[in-house]
Every structure is written in structure tokens, then in C-alpha cells.
Amino acid sequence: MERGWLEALVQKVFCETEGNIVMVEKGDGTAGKLRMFDEPLIGIGSADDPMFLDYKKPEAVGPWHRSPKEWLPGARTVVSLFFPISEEARKSNRAESETPSLEWLYCRIEGNEFLRTFIARLRDCLIEEGYPACAPALDERFRAFMNQKPEMDFDVLAGGAATGGSGSDAAAGGLESGAGGSDLTVYGSMWSERHVAYLCGLGTFGLSKGIITRKGMAGRFASLVTALELPADERPYKGLYDYCIRCGRCIERCPVRAISEEGKEHKPCHDWLIHVKKEYAPRLGCGKCQTAVPCECRIP
Ligand code: B12
Ligand code: SF4
Ligand code: SF4
């Protein structure tokens, strides 16, 4: 099978999946239509890429990060997709220095729902064509950790092989991060979309920790693993941060100073998102570090 076949399938599913256009209800009682995402960029990686083993190291993601064959025995290919946030939604979030725009919040919540529907359909289309597939983010084994202790059935700090583990729910939080020993708590997940995107050649990390793609950083990722065999894309970079020019604009943009020249702290960012949710529930989001910055919609 060729890459062109997958590209055509992605485009078809993207156009046919409902939910990318939403009505944004403004506080003044008016409502306006918003197209949340542009067509996705596609990156293809090999399920056997040795970098997946590196991701199990504590300094990368951690031993709870599952490799493609742990999601789907027989996996050959990993497909990572970057959905750029539309100009309209990006523009709306550029203006304010602190409050996230309503359009941005819709892209985070309704947008996430759209992407879950999209990736489920893409997975099902591949299965119908005879290629087993799994979208880790939708898998019942998937867990994200928000300042939580990963509950694994092996010793995390001993670096044991990641073979399962019950994990914990992403909604909780509140513990101190960075602790050693058995109190280790992390921000992370069993399948990091950004690390998968990096491996699939879609882009590199930035100082603010988002991935900068050739359509910039303002956007969201989705991915799947499949038994369909396709040639992997070449990674057009060598270093983790190659696309970041270290201009420091994201440092200035962050309302809670979570970013510095040394990198980014997840806790103040997470606390800010919880604060935003108090006002805008059921929505949350921020993304100031991804808008009005040189890496917003291109490689700077
Ligand atoms: C947990 C989480 C959070 C946490 C912690 C963030 C984090 N960086 O981990 C909080 C709540 C703070 C958060 C906030 C936001 N998030 Co968030 N979040 C996630 C989630 C669920 C898991 C992330 C994860 O697994 N992290 C793992 C840890 C290890 O990552 P890390 O510390 O950054 O990784 C470093 C190390 O690995 C190090 N490293 C060391 N050695 C090595 C070796 C190798 C080989 C490599 C590659 C790396 C490496 O380099 C990395 C970068 O410095 C993902 C969804 C998913 N399943 O992936 C979304 C996700 C990362 N979030 C996303 C977004 C958009 C946001 C927000 C903008 C919220 C919003 N929508 O308004 C903010 C932005 C914050 C920021 N500046 O990055 C997007 C990112 C899009 C992008 N362009 O990159 C994701 C991918 C969701 C999605 N489906 O698109 N998020
Ligand atoms: S704003 Fe500048 S420093 Fe921050 S991630 Fe983008 S390019 Fe890097
Ligand atoms: S790091 Fe977090 S709090 Fe700071 S601008 Fe980015 S999303 Fe907002």
C-alpha cells in the first residue's frame, strides 16, 4: 500500500466527520460559526523505531509509555496527525494577554471531541480495509497523569519493562511533582502524542514544550498504530529543539510565568488551566504560549 492511499483516506475522513464547525455562544447572547481545524499534516513512523524504547526512560517519558506493539500486537506503522487551529481561532487568542478566547476554549473541548470522532473513524476504516488498528488515546488501557503517581504493576524507578499497569485517572491531581522514590508523581501519559509526532517527523519541541510543526505549534495531535505497512517518513531534524529559535516570546506570553529560559514547569500551567475552568466550565484552555509567537503557524 502507498502513502497516497492513506493521505486520501485521511482527507476523506476529515471532510466527512461532523463537528469541526461549531456555534460559539458569546456572553452577549449572540453566536457565531467557527471552523476549528485546518486539514491535518501527516507523519508516518515505524512501529519498530528504537526511539520508542528511549521513551520508556525516566528522562524521556517513563516506563509507563507503551510501544506500538504493546497497543497492537502486529503493529507495523504509526500515523501521527497534526490539526492546525484555524486562523480565526488563533487570531482571537492573540489579542488578550491573559484570558483565553472563547474560540480557543471551543478548540480545546469541542475540538478534542471532534478529533476523537475523527481518529475513531479513521481506525475503523483501516480495520474495514483489513488492517488492524488501534488509537491509543481511545483505548481503555490509556491513562494520562496530571501530577499523579503512575500506578503500575512494576517498579517504575527500577525501570522495569512496561507491560500493562492499571494507571490512574487524569482528572485528579494536587500532589507535589518531581518527588523521588515511591512518591514520584508526573505529568505525562502512556502515549505521548508529542513524542510520537517527533518520531514521525512532524516537528520538534519548542522552549514552551509544544511541538513546532511546519504549520506551527497552535494545533492538536491525534494518532494511531496499524498493521498496515508503509515506509516511514524521514525526520528532517536531528535535535529535540531544532525548530525553536529561543526568542523567549512564549516566556512573555505566559500569564503565570510557567516558562523560563530553562524550560517549562507543568504545575503552574496546570493550576492556571484549573483556574480558567472555574470560570468557563465545562471548557478550559489557555494556549497564550502558542499564539502571537513566531512559531504560532510556521517554523520560525
Ligand atoms: C499531561 C498533559 C498536559 C499537562 C502537562 C504538559 C506536558 N508537557 O506534559 C498540562 C496540564 C500542563 C498541559 C497543558 C497544555 N496542553 Co497538554 N497534554 C498533556 C497530555 C495529556 C500528556 C502529555 C505527556 O504525555 N507528557 C509527557 C512528558 C514527559 O512530556 P515533557 O516533559 O514535555 O517531555 C520532555 C522530555 O521527554 C524531554 N526529553 C528528555 N529526553 C528525551 C529523549 C527523547 C528521545 C525525546 C523525544 C524527549 C526527551 O523532552 C521533552 C520536551 O522538553 C497530552 C496528550 C497526549 N496523550 O500526549 C496533551 C498535549 C501535550 N497538550 C496539548 C496542549 C495544546 C496543551 C495546552 C496548550 C492547553 C490548551 N489546549 O490550551 C497547554 C500547553 C502547555 C505547554 N506549554 O506545553 C497538546 C500539544 C500540542 C502541541 N502543539 O504540542 C497535546 C499533545 C494534546 C493533543 N492531543 O494535541 N498538558
Ligand atoms: S516562542 Fe520562541 S522560544 Fe518560545 S517555543 Fe516559539 S520559537 Fe521557541
Ligand atoms: S505554559 Fe500553560 S499557562 Fe503558560 S501560556 Fe502556555 S498554556 Fe498558558
User: What tens digit of pLDDT does each residue of 52-80 get?
Assistant: 999 999 999 999 999 999 999 999 999 99
Segments of the chain scoring below 50 in pLDDT: 154-181
In whole angstroms, give the CA distance from residue 131 to residue 113: 24
Q: Give residue 170's pLDDT.
A: 31
- Asked if residues 86 and 36 have their Cβ atoms less than 8 Å apart, the reply is yes
Substitution candidate for ligand 2 out of 90, 94, 194, 208 with most atoms within 8 A of CB: 208
- Asked if residues 110 and 17 have their Cβ atoms less than 8 Å apart, the reply is no
- Which pTM was predicted? 0.93
Q: Give residue 182's pLDDT.
A: 54
Substitution candidate for ligand 1 out of 96, 192, 277 with most atoms within 8 A of CB: 192
According to DSSP, residue 216 is labeled: B
Ligand found nearest the CA of 293: 2
Q: Ligand 3 centroid vs 184 CA: distance in angstroms?
A: 23
Q: Where are the alpha helices (DSSP H) in 80-147?
A: 87-95, 102-128
Q: Ligand 1 centroid vs 266 CA: distance in angstroms?
A: 9
In whole angstroms, give the CA distance from residue 58 to residue 65: 10
Q: Give residue 85's pLDDT.
A: 98
Residue 240 CB–ligand 1 contact under 6 Å: yes
